[in-house]
Each structure stands twice: as structure tokens, then as C-alpha cells.
Amino acid sequence: MLTATDLATALDAIEWNQPRACSRATDEILHAVAKDHGMLTALVASLVHDMGRLRRCEANPLVDRLVLAEDTTGGDRWQLRLHAFPMGELELIPHDHKYPFAVHVLHGGYLHAWNRRTGAAQKGPFTSVDLAVGTVTVEGPGSSYLFSHSLVHQTAVIPGSVTLFLRGPARQSQWHSASDLHDLRHDDHGRPVRDDTRYRRSTPMSLAQLHTRIADLTRLGIITGRTTRP
């Protein structure tokens, strides 16, 4: 069984610049956390008494993010989060991320389209013309994968899905999405929008919102509802 110290040590040792070694390490760590309900419960419950880390948790129209653990060396090399998608979302606009990350699905899942960059630029801004679908996967409970910052993807998430999300160090100053498809975005009232404001509407999670999320996770059987280990 992992302790909090064991977990931090393992996460500190991940070689994010070595894809094969990184994939093996992140897969092993996330599987270990996923099957250890005592550890997962303790990580979630610890947020109740850590206001600094709670302020870094986010409530967002697309996904709630709970910060379970993070790099405390000052290097911001990693952050382990739990992502909850209460409504389910269609991320149909192809997009990349600022950092590499690994995911392990705890509940629900999603359809995942991995895109290939076909233009000369293999990172940075792009349009849909610069992409081709490489493969499509179905990510269900127990699925895990490693995603590079240079890759581009799309997802259609099942309502109520929950994942473990481990991000590595930032490799880009910002993320990008297919700029010619921005007209496909809609606000909460179904009106088209031309920017990514909905994606930036994250607010610090309140203690009340955290307790609601804890109740949801307990109901789903992802955590036990009580801390079994400090």
C-alpha cells in the first residue's frame, strides 16, 4: 500500500522527457492510487483541512478539478488531480495542452479521438486543415494513457465520469485549439461564441462545493467516505 510519502517520492521520480519510461511509471502509479480506496479517500479528505490547496481546486462548467497532491519543491513538476464531469461534455474542437499528462478512468469514460498534425508545425497554433484523425479509442473504467503536449485530441465524455489526472511540467505558455472551428463553441444558452471564455470560467472551489463532490464520490463508490489512513 502506498503512503503519502511513497506517492510523492514516486511522482518526483517520473522522467517526463522519456515517453516510454514515463508511460510505465504513470500507469503504475495511477493504477496503485485507483485501487487503494484508503489512499484515495485520504487524499480527497485532506482538502477539507488544507485551505491553500483547496483554493487551487477549481469549479468549472466543463469539469471540476480536485488537487489531491502536488510538487512541493517549488519546481511545479507535477500535480495529481481528480477530475469530475457531472454533466458530460463534448470537446469536439481539436485542442492540445500546455503540459504532458496521464489519465486513469475511475468511473464512466469517453470517446477519445487522437489527431495527427499534418502541417509543417508539430506544435503551437493550428487549424483543422493541419490535422488528420490518427485513431479513435473508447476509454472506460480502468483505462489509462499518457498524452504529450504536442498531441491534439477531442473527447465526448459520459455524464458523471471521474478520472485521475496527473499533469507534468508546462511545455508551452498556452494551449491551442483549431482556430477555424471556434464558431462551433456555444455558451450555456446555446449561443455561438468566438472565444474560449467558457473554458476560462474556473473559480476556486468552495468548501461547500467540495463537500458536495465528496458526497458524489462516496455515492459512486470511488471513495469510502471516511479516512482510513493519515
CA–CA gap between residue 157 and residue 167 (Å, rounded): 19
The whole-number pLDDT of residue 188 equals 52
Chunked into runs of 10 residues, the chain (230 residues) has average pLDDT values of 87 95 97 95 95 92 92 92 84 88 96 90 87 93 93 91 96 88 58 50 89 95 68
Distance of CA 48 to the CA centre of its chain: 21
The whole-number pLDDT of residue 17 equals 93
> Amino acid letter at 127?
T
Model pTM? 0.88
Rg of the chain in Å (alpha carbons): 18
CA–CA gap between residue 135 and residue 152 (Å, rounded): 11
The whole-number pLDDT of residue 105 equals 98
The whole-number pLDDT of residue 229 equals 44
CB contact at 8 A, 131 and 117: yes
The neighbour count for residue 100, using CB atoms within 10 Å, is: 23
Q: Give the strands of the sheet with 58-59, arranged side by side.
A: 144-147, 101-107, 161-167, 79-85, 64-70, 58-59, 203-204
The whole-number pLDDT of residue 1 equals 66
One-letter-per-residue 3-state SS of 95-142: ECCCCCEEEEEEECCEEEEEEEECCCCCCCCCCHHHEEEEEEEEECCC
